[in-house]
Each structure stands twice: as structure tokens, then as C-alpha cells.
Structure 1
Amino acid sequence: MRNPQKNKLIIGISGASGTIYGVRLLELLRALPDSQKIETHLIMSRAAEITLAHETDFKVRDVEKLADMVHANKDIGAAVASGSFRTMGMIIAPCSVKSLAEIATGVTDTLLSRAADVILKERRRLVCMVRETPLHSGHLRNMLALSDMGAIIAPPVPAFYAKPDSIADMVDHSLGRVLDLFDIDLGTVRRWKDDAAPGA
């Protein structure tokens, strides 16, 4: 029988700068061929909607159309709030330090943080693309707490060895590395070859 969790992925977009990471992630997953189709479940915070308007030309409805399912952040009764809803995991792109703190402390009063909490308790993969700098000790403690609980902290740090020609190249490379964590290869990562320079 087909494993129902293997083709479902929760995408959270919080209010940190870098909403393009979440938007582009949805675009990349939507472009997968039917044989590799992944059902995306989108949760956007209200702060994410505001940041989206400041940083991009996308409208909220444009982003929602990229997802297979959209869940309101205030809908705590949504399917993704239950451990019985089987998925391969969740990516929060970007992840604000507010969302980070909610998840790390278990104060999950929004669907985004509740869904992430469920992913952790069910021992599924949670990847947080934390977008903040500089970081104070509270931020670092929350990241450590989440890492100790099994989450992967993956700040979208540009890989300059890939010699990107544009911001879009950097975004795609970062997302490709995050999707590697789910064994999804979209061909957006320029990888080191066997003859890479020493120390690579």
C-alpha cells in the first residue's frame, strides 16, 4: 500500500524577512511531475502576510494558489494540528524568532506553532529556516532547545561557492539544501564533485 505520509508536507510561512523562501518553496514543489507529487499544506501567519506585501509583488491569494491545501493560522482544529494526520514533516520558511520561541517553549496558540509541535512529538522532520541577525542568547537557547527536541535549524545562509548570479539563485540553492533533508532533489543545488578542492 502507498504510504500516505510520504506525499504530504506542511509549509509554514512566518513573519520574518524572507517570505520569498516560502513562496519559492511552494513554486518548486508545485512544479514536480505527477510521479513525484507532494501535497503541500500551507499555513501563513498574519505577520507573514504583512511582510509579503512589503517584500514582494505577490498577493496572499497568489501564494495560497500555489498550495494544495491552505489552513488559517487561527484554525487550531485543522487536520495538521493532529498527530493522526500523517505527513513527512514541516518546513517553516522563513521562521521568525517569535515562532521559534513559541515552538521551543510549547506555547502553541497558533496553528503554525501547533503543527510544528505535533511534528516534533510524532518524531517527524521539522526544519526551521530561522531568519534573524544578530542573535542574542535567548534566540540561541531557543534554537538549542529545538535542536535537542529533534528539529533541524537551517538558516538560509548563501553558499557563495555555487557562484550565484542572482538572489533567485541563492534562494533556490538554500531551498534545495533544505529539501535534501527530505530526500527531495529538484536540481537546484550546485553540488561539490568528487574532484572538489581540498577542504570542500
Structure 2
Amino acid sequence: MRITAPGSGLLVCLALVVGACVQEAPPPQQPQPAWQPAPPPAAARCADGPPMCSQDRRLIIQCQRGAWITVRTCLGPQGCGMSQGALMCDTSVANPGDPCGPDGSSGCTPDGRASTVCRGGRAAIASTCRGSKGCSVTSGVACDHSVAAPGDPCDEQNGIACSTDRKTMLRCAGPVFVVAEACRNACLSAGGRVLCQ
């Protein structure tokens, strides 16, 4: 006669049931980004042609070899337009590095704190205009450089200015302002005159 321990059958059954129910957990899924950026569109091709104004009238542009290039910036108040059948561009305002022409033409920076000159087809700073009147364009370019800092670019040889701390007088020597004289009391600038006292 075989004696079965009480509950042993139940343990075997439970083991079989548990073994049948246990399953391997699936590998965690990688989170998918909610949005995938679209690839940038290809640059618009164009047919080579003559220069023209940009839509915002701030540039002269031209299609060359199938691509648009900036020929000149026209940041002055008159912008870009046509006059008597000719393309006109107001270059009285320019940023350093902007394409420009002809060489020697001048203007002011957009903030009115410096004058520019066209050199080699690019606008460059001709002089800082730290004085109260800044840089302005009427019949020509007027730059108030009665106040400057040592090392500031300048275009008026031997022109004088007060330093920004009003302690020294500066002189334009070559392309930049240099210290010319220490003022005992102060350097004064008014009405285009500079006095070292």
C-alpha cells in the first residue's frame, strides 16, 4: 500500500500550474518620438538674369549659375527701386561686410554710431561717431567723432576727439585714434570743438 503524504499532491499541482502560467516578459519597447523633423527643402533654383530688387526692397539680387546672390544691400530709407528705367539702391546705411559699390562710397551703420566706406566691394567702418550727433546722412555723411576711444577707427587725419572718460585728448593717426594729451581738468567737446583743460 502506497502512502501519500498529505498535501503532496497539491504541491505538485501548484508547481505544474505555476510553471504553465509563467511567461517571459516581452522586451521593453523604445519610446518613439512624437514628431520627426522634415528634411530641409532643396534650395530654389532660378534662371540666370539681370539684377533686380528683392521683395522687401532692401537688396539688389541676381540669379547667377542657378542660385540667387546678394549684389548690394539697400538699407537706406529709399531702399531699392527703379528710377527712369534704371535700378536704384540707397546705400546710405550699411553693415560692415555688406556687399557695396562703387568703392569709396560712404554711409552710416544702422545704429548711427559709425560711418562706413566701401572698400573692395565690402562696407567697412571708416570712423566711429561716438559724439552726441552720431552719424547722419543728408547731402553727405556727417560723423560726430568728437568723442572716441583709443584704437577706434578714424578717417580724418589729425582730427581730435575727447576720450570717453573725458580725461584725455585723442588724435587720429593713420587708421585709428591714439592718446595725444592728458587733460589736467577735463576734455570738453561741444559744437564740434574739442578742448583739453
| TM score, norm. by length of structure 1 | 0.20
Higher share of residues assigned strand: 2
Higher relative contact order (CA 8 A, sep 6+): 1
TM-score, normalization by structure 2: 0.20
Structure richer in helix, relative to its length? 1
